[in-house]
Structure 1
Amino acid sequence: MVWFSEVEYLRGFAALAVIAVHVSMNFTRIPGVNLLALVNVVVYVLAHFAVPVFIFISGWVLAARYSGAYSLPDFYSRRARTILLPYLFFTALYLLVTVEGMIGFAGVPTPERVVEALLIGNAAYHLWFFVLIIQLYLLFPLIARGYDRFDRGGAALFLLLALLFVQILWNVGAHLTGAFVGPEWYTVLIRLFPSHLFYFVLGIYVARHTDRCRSALRSFSPAGVLAAAGAGAVLLGGMWAASVLHYGSFSGSSLAVFCIYRILEPFYYVPVIAALVLAAWRLDGGGGRTAGASRSFGEHSYGIYLVHPLVIAAAAAAWFSLTGLSWADRTTYPVIFLAAAAASYGAVRGASGVPYAGYLVGESRVRRG
């Protein structure tokens, strides 16, 4: 398999964005709506490019590794080794340990709660990603085969546009169903693979046409790519800040705001992916400690994703105890973010040197896809 140097940098950027999402989401604990709450609303919304980037990378790496003839049993056994053991272990852990706001013991779960957590991925707020990626792994051979048929017919871009349209309809429909039928329907629908299928197939497209995509991106002005990503950030961030200011809370915003957001989000995420690739090229070309640290952070991003809620919750408990501050204080957010990024990386890198522990934090998958 040809390895793409951009991948580890992109994983690192996405992991930092995930931490930003899960630190900033505590704006809901701020009484009322003030400037601190609005700033964190914007960070929370804009950093949501993380999961689309991870999904995009998954499609890219899998399509590069598995093209032409390959063994399906080998494919599924590799995917099971890299995803199922960490998912089962951390589901069990997060069923016992609560990480909402601060760390604590959640009690012994009932069998019904265990089944729900495994099926929905709600043992903790970040595990839903595993439910989604497992579906895409299971369906990858069919998805790739279908994509290749369109690609051979010269209709790959048509397929991408069609999937973009379907994904938008699916996600808007998930919000509408949740509003009129019940929120549990939204919880299920947003975890099903059509909600992120466009990003996955976009990764497959890039794997099949890597040189063409690199040439096309290099033909664009970096300032233009950044302007497109920035315009999306201003539009989405400003829309949500205005909505929270008007309605008094994030959850209280109207259904129309959620639906408009779902329509617009891909047009922000795609330029962000392009901007992140440009940043990866710049880092990789410059070399030095910054590039090495960024690449190492990306190589450990899978484990960082798994453990960071524990670190955020523990860091918050220690910070509040030592300083007397809370989530309503502006100093809390950058401190917890930096602590979570550094401690998560340190914990995962340390665990990777322990026999068999690497399988639990995903280190056995580095450079394997």
Structure 2
Amino acid sequence: MVWFFEVEYLRGLAALAVIAVHVSMNYTRIPGVNLLALVNVVVYVVAHFAVPVFIFISGWVLGARHSGEYSLRDFYRHRARTILLPYLFFTALYLVIVVEGTFGFAGVPAPGRVAEALLLGTAAYHLWFFVLIIQLYLFFPLIARGYDRFDRDGAALYLLLALLFVQVLWNVGAHCLGAFAGTEWYTVLIRVFPSHLFYFVLGIHVARHTDNFRSQLRSLSAAWVIVSAGAGALFLGGMWAAAVLRYGSLSGATLAVFCVYRILEPLYYVPVIAVLVLAAWRLEDGEGRPAGASRSFGEHSYGIYLVHPLVIAASAVAWTSLTGLSWADWPTYPAIFLAAAAASYGAVRGASGMPYAGYLLGEPRVRRGPGRSGGT
């Protein structure tokens, strides 16, 4: 089975970004707009590369494992085991436990609430990702076959550019339809697979041309790659900070701000992917404890993604009880971030040794191979 050492590092870094997003989003609980709120707006926006990176990784891994002839029955059976059981279990859990704004028992949900949660991933703020990834898994055989046809004709890059255009158009359209026809349209459309299809197919492209991808990335100046990603982070983060300062909140910004953001975000996310791969190479070369800890965090990233809202909510309650500080205080954000990262990892790693835990928290994914040539 083909495996690439970069994958676990990328997963771990993306998982940290997810936690950063869900800690920093609590800036909305700060009365008014101050410097603390603006800093967390920037963190919130900049760390949103996490889901595109996870989608890219999924395309990379699936593209590497499934090329040529393979059993569709085995493919779908494995995908159902790794994605549906955790999704159903944690949807049920988050329907009865409140993790946003407070922490406690929500009561027995109504049937309509259950149906909405299952279809749209609204039981908790992070489960929408599962609705998206399930669609990409369902359509992967067709997507990969379509990519391979373009690739054989030497037109893979044209396909990627076309998908980038379609994705941007789709996401801008989702905002426009949400603004004029009702927010429920945006809620649905942003969860439909064309909203992230470019990143998924980019992952498949890298899987089909991994050696070429690595050699081309090595040929680039690392400094310029980092500067490109940093410039994107500063521009998008600054744009949203200015919008919040002007309109009082993200949701209060004009439709034009949302549309400009959707047009520009891929130009930030693609360099970030390159930076994360460079970081993976640096960690791998360094070996030692940082590399081992990063790989282990990435190995358990699936479970960390699932449980971290519980840990954030519980940590916030404990922090306020012990210190008297709230989301309106500077120390709260780094303290909750560190607690959420450490406790989520500890809980998932501790539970991984329990019987059947792998079905709910994700199976260990590390399959170390011979360095940068990949592995089996």
Instruction: Give the TM-score category using the shorter length.
Output: over 0.9
1:105 is aligned to 105
Task: Tell me, in whole angstroms, the C-alpha distance in 1 between the residues paired with 2:170 and 2:207.
Answer: 25
CA-to-partner distance for each residue in 1:188-224, whole Å, 9 max, x for gaps? 0000000000000000000000000000000000000
- In 2, distance between residues paired with 1:87 and 1:145? 27
Preserved CA contact (<8 Å) 1:121 1:128: yes
Give the match for residue 114 of structure 1: 114
Work out whether residues 315 and 340 of structure 1, in 8 Å CA contact, stay in contact via their aligned partners in 2. yes
**For 1:364 and 1:121, how far apart are their aligned partners in 2?**
24
**1:101 and 1:316 in contact (8 A); partners too:** no
1:272 alignment partner AA: V
Match of 2:246 in 1: 246
Alpha-carbon displacement from aligned partner over 1:164-191 (angstroms, at most 9, x marks no partner): 0000000000000000000000000000
Q: 1:323 Cα deviation (Å)?
A: 1.0
Shift of 1:364: 5.1
Conservation of the 8 A alpha-carbon contact between 1:82 and 1:364: no
Q: Decide whether the 8 Å contact of 1:91 with 1:123 is kept in 2.
A: yes
Aligned ranges 1:1-369 → 2 under 5 Å: 1-363=1-363, 367=367
Does the 8 A contact of 2:300 with 2:364 survive in 1? Answer: no
Distance 2:310 2:341 in 1: 12
Shift of 1:363: 2.5
**Is the 8 Å Cα contact of residues 29 and 327 (structure 1) preserved in structure 2?**
yes
Using the TM superposition, name which of 98-107 and 201-210 deviates more: 98-107
CA gap 1:26/1:229 in 2 versus in 1, 3 angstroms: same
Q: Do the aligned residues in 2 keep the contact of 1:244 with 1:250 (CA within 8 Å)?
A: yes
SS state at 1:363 partner? coil
Q: Distance in 1 between matches of 2:181 and 2:366?
A: 42
CA, structure 1 residues 54+259, in 2 after alignment: closer, same or farther (shift >3 Å)?
Answer: same
Q: Which runs of 4+ in 1 moved over 2 A?
A: 363-369
CA drift at 1:156: 0.0
In 1, Cα distance between equivalents of 2:116 and 2:208 = 38
In 2: Cα distance, 1:7 partner to 1:171 partner: 27
C-alpha RMSD of the superposition? 1.1
Letter in 1 for 2:48: H
* Contact 1:86/1:361 (<8 A) preserved: yes
What is the aligned residue count? 369
Q: What is the rounded CA distance, in whole Å, between the counterparts of 1:137 and 1:26 in structure 2?
A: 32
Distance of aligned partners of 1:145 and 1:341 in 2 relative to their CA distance in 1, 3 Å threshold = same
Spell out, residue by residue over 1:72-104, the C-alpha distance to the aligned partner (whole angstroms, 9 max, x if none): 000000000000000000000000000003311
How far 1:250 moved relative to its partner?
A: 1.6
Residue 3 of structure 1 deviates from its aligned partner by 1.1
Contact 1:56 1:203 in 2 (8 A): yes
Distance 1:363 1:326 in 2: 36
Q: Deviations over 1:302-349 (max 9, x none)?
A: 000000000000000000111111110010000000000000000000
Please say if residues 300 and 366 of structure 1, whose CA atoms lie closer than 8 Å, have aligned partners that are also in contact: no
Instruction: Tell me which amino acid in the other structure corresponds to 2:199.
Output: Y
Letter aligned with residue 249 of structure 1: S
Q: Distance in 2 between matches of 1:138 and 1:367?
A: 25
| Structure 2 unmatched runs, 5+ | 369-375
Retained in 2: the 8 A contact 1:20–1:44?
A: yes
Determine helix, strand or coil for the equivalent of 2:334: helix
The answer (yes or no) to whether the contact 1:120–1:188 under 8 Å persists in 2 is yes
- On the 8 A contact 2:18/2:48 being kept in 1, the answer is yes
Provide structure 1 residue ranges, at least 5 long, that are not aligned to the other structure. none
SS at match of 2:354: coil
Shift of 1:47: 0.2
In structure 1, C-alpha distance between the alignment counterparts of 2:282 and 2:116, rounded to whole Å? 44
Provide the TM-score with structure 1 as the length reference.
0.99
Preserved CA contact (<8 Å) 2:299 2:365: no
Aligned equivalents of 2:95, 2:35: Cα separation in 1 = 34
Query: What is the distance in 2 between the residues matched to 1:35 and 1:364?
Result: 41
- Counting aligned pairs with the same residue, the percent is 83
User: 1-side partners of 2:248 and 2:71: how far apart?
Assistant: 54
| Residue type at the aligned position of 1:27 | Y
Could you state the TM-score of these two structures normalised by the residue count of structure 2? 0.97
CA–CA distance in structure 2, aligned partners of residues 132 and 280 of structure 1: 26
